[in-house]
Amino acid sequence: PAVLATKTAGPVPVPNNDAKPLSHPLLSLFTPGAWDNFTFAPIRESTVSRAMTRRYFNDLDSYAESDITIVGAGSAGLSCAYVLGTLRPDLKISILEAGVAPGGGAWLGGQLFSAMVMRKPAHIFLDQIEVPYEDEGDYVVVKHAALFTSTVMSKVLRMPNVKLFNATTVEDLITRQDKETGEVRIAGVVTNWTLVSMHHDDQSCMDPNTINSNVIISMTGHDGPFGAFSVKRLVSMKQLEQLGGMRGLDMASAEDAIVKGTREIVPGLVVGGMELSEVDGANRMGPTFGAMVLSGVKAAEEALKVFDL
Ligand code: AHZ
């Protein structure tokens, strides 16, 4: 019910005889005077500090050896994490996201518009995560992109075998060279706090941390200040000759190309989402997200193949 503030007794519920009574344990607080006597149990600051840091450092300890690491928690990375975490609750999956807020470009549908377009059959993924949409025939529309992003994120974050390290940048890749064949395999990621990564030029001695991983899935988006990180690094470490470079926008063809092309680019590294457009010289699709979801699904499948996981 709506709440009125009174000078003397604090908030008082407005009676609404038509409404069903709300049942919520906290509603007992809505009695006159109850807020005045309200108090939490006492807590010491170090208790709060330890509650956070102990868990974080346990996670760092546990996920230092991950089965699968996803770099980038945009629409592609989060969709991939959802599929992997659902299919394989036995695997340890770490997600590294440079931003404080995961979600990449999927908080808005396009420009500053709210609605998010997904071409079919990506609607099947929406059904799975229980995000409603309007069916427009060959495509569906979610009323707000944030509804998609927050829902997939909340499902992923609940999974006991998935850990998101946000505000953490992947600033290099771990490599292993086979002594006999000379083949280089990507064997993990090199990480740092994003704020540290941004200040290597003006501070000294800020060495990174590492995560060893059987498979790395890179979904860092197209080129930009942070985007296309892994594939650019593959070029500078001479594992890829050159990048194709993302091409102009062609909605109809671009989405197919990204989904079809999602694959293991070099041993141990699967690339998908818009990062792949930089490798293959694929068009961009602009504000339509079905390919990001399906690339996430395909990347999950490819990753599980890599080591017969
Ligand atoms: O912060 C980045 C973003 O959240 C993160 N990221 C990038 N580099 C990173 C690094 N370490 C850790 N080195 C990093 N995280 O990766 C995320 C990428 O999300 P995104 O939404 O940019 O990419 P996506 O491929 O998931 O979705 C692309 C959506 C686009 S772009 C586009 C167009 O330009 O035409 N169309 C669509 C649908």
Query: Ligand 1 pocket, 272 CB below 6 A?
Result: no
Q: Quote the ligand 1 centre to 167 CA distance (angstroms).
A: 14
Ligand 1 atom with the smallest distance to the CA of 254 is 35
End-to-end CA separation in angstroms for the chain? 52
**Residue 101 C-alpha to ligand 1 middle, in angstroms?**
12
pTM assigned to the model:
0.92
Per-residue pLDDT in tens (0 to 9) along the chain, 309 residues: 444 444 455 555 566 666 666 677 777 767 777 788 889 999 999 999 999 999 999 999 999 999 999 999 999 999 999 999 999 999 999 999 999 999 999 999 999 999 999 999 999 999 999 999 999 999 999 999 999 999 999 999 999 999 999 999 999 999 999 999 999 999 999 999 999 999 998 988 789 999 999 999 999 999 988 799 999 999 999 999 999 999 999 999 999 999 999 999 999 999 999 999 999 999 999 999 999 999 999 999 999 998 776
* Pocket flag, ligand 1, residue 226 (CB < 6 Å): yes
Please indicate whether residue 192, judged by its CB atom, sits closer than 6 Å to ligand 1.
Answer: no
**Model-level ipTM above the cut of 0.95:** yes
**How far apart, in whole angstroms, are the C-alpha atoms of residue 101 and residue 171?**
18
Whether residue 96 has its Cβ less than 6 Å from ligand 1: yes
Q: Does the C-beta of 246 come closer than 6 Å to ligand 1? A: no
